[in-house]
Amino acid sequence: MHQGLVKLLPRLTSTLVPAVTASVMWAVWLGWDQHRDVHPDGSSTGPYEAWQVIGLVLTLLVPVCWAAFRAHVAGAVVGTTAGLTAAAFLDWSDDASGLFVIGVGMVMIGSLAATAAVSFAITSVTRHGRPV
């Protein structure tokens, strides 16, 4: 029983670290900006600026690469996707129109595709943390 837990712990850690990091980084980069910018012509943009989203993506490369270098691709992909999806759902769920679900779905699909691509690229050039 103890040996089974020892084998499970690295996989669990490689999933939880990206998930928690993704949720926290969503709050750091996007959580504080909740208002739309109204321009003089009446159009509105926002609430996020491009630099905020770019900062979030670049920050999340660290835990994804960390998990992928440890050969835990599933943890990197599932953890980051789950963390971002949960954060988006919590942040946007006060939308009265109900259309936030589409946005959350787009975040889920986009983060799944991006983290899978990065993780598989890393594992294709490394083998258990060592260059091939």
Q: What one-character-per-residue DSSP string does the chain give?
A: -HHHHHHHHHHHHHHHHHHHHHHHHHIIIIIT---PEEPTTS-EE-S--HHHHHHHHHHHHHHHHHHHHTT-HHHHHHHHHHHHHHHHHHHHTT-TTSTHHHHHHHHHHHHHHHHHHHHHHHHHHEETTEE-
Which pLDDT score is estimated for 40? 86
Which pLDDT score is estimated for 34? 77
Where do the domains of the chain lie?
2-131
Which pLDDT score is estimated for 81? 97
Q: Using one digit for the tens of pLDDT, what is the confidence trace for 64-121?
A: 998 888 888 899 999 999 999 999 999 998 888 889 999 999 999 999 999 999 999 9
Which pLDDT score is estimated for 129? 53
pLDDT at 132 exceeding the cut of 60: no
User: Which of the residue ranges 5-9, 17-21, 83-87 has the most confident prediction, judged by mean pLDDT?
Assistant: 83-87
Q: Are 48 and 36 in contact (CB under 8 A)?
A: no
